[in-house]
């Protein structure tokens, strides 16, 4: 499947069949996220895979998700990011070689110190990019997914023992869809694209 087809075929799925998702398929999906780009190649992401019933029941008991359909998803992927992953990253040798950062170490540190103030924003951005790669890979493999934003973060953190320095911007659910979902209306290119003259 071409990327364009995966983008067009992707839907937010909230009803899944009882078919389990194999470890091989889960690994391939997470591998797509692993290959995503990140600022300073910090790779701040960590993905907690929940696909066993006792853990799902603990999440339900703690009322981690407000939407019941989340608990019936075959795979719950908790997408986390380490906001400290960027500290001390002042551009790798590749960036120096290509000329995208200053060659002088002091100037490079000064440049990247500005970005360190935006580590939360950068973490959300990079985890989002990796997660989008994972969603497209899941679509290619015949799975449906949905981003979940209504999360009781403190309860989720407690159940999965997620470190304090990690943020949880959202959760992904995945599985084999029950039926076809039509594409919802999208704004036109004219509505979203501003050509600067």
User: Taking residues 137-152, what's their average pLDDT?
Assistant: 97
Q: What is the mean pLDDT of the chain?
A: 91
pLDDT for 92 equals 63
Domains of the chain: 3-192 (3.40.109.10)
pLDDT at position 119 over 80: yes
Instruction: Name the percent of the chain lying above pLDDT 70.
Output: 96
pLDDT at position 101 over 80: no
Strand partners, 12: 145
At a CB cut-off of 8 Å and minimum separation 6, what does 4 contact? none
Tell me how far apart the terminal alpha carbons of the chain are, to the nearest angstrom.
Answer: 36
User: Taking residues 38-47, what's their average pLDDT?
Assistant: 92
Residue 192 host element (H or E): helix 189-192
Which residue, among 51, 88, 58, has the nearest Cα to 72 in the 3D structure?
51
Give the model's confidence band at 157: pLDDT under 50 very low, under 70 low, under 90 confident, else very high.
Answer: very high
pLDDT for 98 equals 79
pLDDT at position 137 over 90: yes
Lowest mean pLDDT, pick from 12-16, 32-36, 83-87? 83-87
């Amino acid at each position: 499947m071409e990327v364009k087809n995966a983008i067009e075929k992707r839907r937010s799925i909230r009803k899944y069949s009882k078919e389990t998702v194999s470890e091989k398929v889960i690994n391939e999906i997470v591998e797509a996220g692993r290959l995503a780009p990140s600022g300073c190649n910090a790779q701040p992401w960590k993905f907690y895979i929940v696909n066993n019933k006792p853990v799902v029941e603990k999440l339900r008991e703690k009322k981690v998700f407000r939407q019941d359909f989340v608990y019936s998803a075959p795979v719950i992927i908790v997408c986390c990011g380490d906001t400290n992953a960027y500290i001390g990253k002042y551009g790798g040798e590749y960036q120096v070689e290509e000329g995208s950062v200053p060659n002088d170490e002091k100037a490079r540190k000064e440049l990247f110190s500005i970005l360190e103030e935006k580590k939360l924003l950068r973490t959300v951005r990079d985890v989002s990019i990796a997660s989008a790669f994972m969603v497209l890979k899941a679509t290619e493999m015949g799975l449906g997914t949905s981003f979940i934003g209504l999360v009781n973060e403190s309860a989720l953190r407690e159940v999965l023992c997620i470190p304090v320095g990690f943020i949880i911007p959202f959760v992904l659910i995945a599985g084999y869809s029950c039926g076809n979902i039509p594409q919802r209306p999208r704004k036109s290119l004219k509505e979203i694209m501003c050509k600067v003259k």
